[in-house]
């Protein structure tokens, strides 16, 4: 993995995690937390969303995809915490 690819992963993860935090909880989780939530969300979206026929390309598509996965992740975590 090149340095550029790693930086793109970190930026996409940070933006997606921040967006998901704004939508689900109303605040972010700090830079490191946003990156983790965004990257895990991207993996979750990559696993779930292709089965629904959703496919996006480009950097904006990657951010949207990761944000959708991060929102799903945060909603699942919220459900688990309530139980």
Per-residue pLDDT of the chain (83 residues; tens, 9 = 90+): 799 989 988 999 999 999 998 998 766 678 888 889 889 998 988 888 777 777 677 888 888 889 999 998 888 888 888 87
From residue 80, how far is each of 55, 69, 77 by CA, in Å? 28, 17, 5
What's the pTM? 0.83
Domain extent at residue 75: 3-82
Are the C-beta atoms of 28 and 20 separated by less than 8 Å?
Answer: no
What DSSP line would sit under 17-58, residue for residue?
HHHHHHHHTSS--HHHHHHHHHHHHHHHHHHHGGGGT----H
Rounded Cα–Cα distance for residues 42 and 25 (Å): 18
Q: How many domains does the chain have?
A: 1
pLDDT for residue 45: 87
């Amino acid at each position: 993995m090149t340095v550029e690819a790693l930086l793109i992963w970190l930026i996409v993860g940070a933006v997606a995690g921040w967006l998901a935090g704004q939508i689900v909880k109303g605040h972010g989780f700090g830079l490191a937390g946003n990156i983790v939530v965004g990257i895990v969300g991207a993996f979750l979206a990559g696993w779930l969303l292709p089965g629904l026929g959703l496919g996006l390309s480009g950097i904006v598509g990657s951010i949207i995809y990761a944000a959708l996965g991060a929102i799903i992740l945060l909603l699942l975590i919220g459900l688990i915490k309530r139980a």
